[in-house]
Structure 1
Amino acid sequence: MDVRTFLFYLFSVVLLFAAFRVITARNPVYAALFLVLTFFQAAGIWMLLRAEFLAISLVLVYVGAVMVLFLFVVMMLDINVDALRAGFWKHFPLAATIGALIALEMAAVLMGGFRPTEEPRALPGAAAAAQAGVQYSNTKELGKLLYSEYLFPLEIAAVILLVGIIAAIALTLRHRKDSKHFDPALAVRVRASDRLQVIKVPPTRPAEPAAAAAATGETKA
């Protein structure tokens, strides 16, 4: 067994263990951390398959952005796990049926084999480079193919992501009637003279004529 085969089996075993712990961990924070470990092992397997772009994309996008966001959301929401597990056995038959159906479909695909009916399509320049014995860059060839033949779907995906970003910002900035908020910039710029006004009041002042006359009449009576 060479080093490449050993690393493949090592990454595969750790990936299967981490994926199993994702669905069996009682703490959602631990489940999210095991999912991060699963992504790292999948990235390692892709590196062994010389798919460097997919491996780096998996680490940067899913581990560096999506899973970190999930982890912060789970930690901030303080989810009550006992309330989520209240109806577990009630929905278990339906979940078991769907899981068995998916397992049968995967078994049918695996038993059928991976023998394609036609030759797989190679990246532009990959076949020529392989015949010439020259090493080529998967990332470079993928970039050429992505920005030439698949440029229109790429632009559509970029517009969809832009709409999602704008929608998230709009939902964040939306003011609710039942929530109190303040501007931190105004709180920092506040001065004592704007909030407190000192009024000088004399210690004594003469009585008004009408009030003095009324008081004198009451005294005489």
Structure 2
Amino acid sequence: MIKTVNLQKIFKTEEVETWALNNVNLEIKAGEFVAIMGPSGCGKSTLLNILGLLDNPTGGTYELNGTDVSKFTEAQRTNLRKGVIGFVFQSFNLIDELNVFENIELPLLYMGIPATERKRRVEDAMNRMAIAHRVKHFPQQLSGGQQQRVAIARAVVANPKLILADEPTGNLDSKNGKEVMELLTELNKEGTTIVMVTHSQHDSGYAGRTINLFDGQVVNEIKI
């Protein structure tokens, strides 16, 4: 599903170059659950942004489902993301002005899904994430764990083949964090590929493989 060859990302500020990613080589098969770990500033989130088609690499190649997307335009990346990639963020990234139903519905609106089908899919996602009883509530009326459940429901409502999770338990207590990791594990068992950035050794234990980054390079991999 995912293959990178000598992937590079360089940020330039005036005459200063910062190598966020330095020749990263990865291969992630469909159906895997992979954790990416490393110290702050090692390039984890930068890598996830490229894998999620939010940014292009400076050099090297990135193949998603056999297609080299390294030099895609922003419009091409946006179009490819729809229905293929779901995102789960540490900060939840919910829209305050929208209620639970409306937040979850957003990806389907972007895809042009008819209203009746949108309603069915959103209700299914809410029931699965045990958040249907909060359907008319707004993000500020929810606990952190509930907000993350809404975020996961939004990520899965379009039935993506790939979910990218950036520190998905970072703002949660241990109980809610455990529940979120169990939800991601359940999705993976059903065939969804999960790539997760985390600082937590505990969370990485849910993954089948851990990739460690240091200074923008893969330093080792651990299979469970």
Common fold: TM-score over 0.5: no
TM-score for the superposition, normalised by structure 1: 0.24
Higher relative contact order (CA 8 A, sep 6+): 2
Q: Higher helix share goes to which structure?
A: 1
> Which protein is bigger by CA-based radius of gyration?
1
Q: Higher strand share goes to which structure?
A: 2
TM-score for the superposition, normalised by structure 2: 0.24
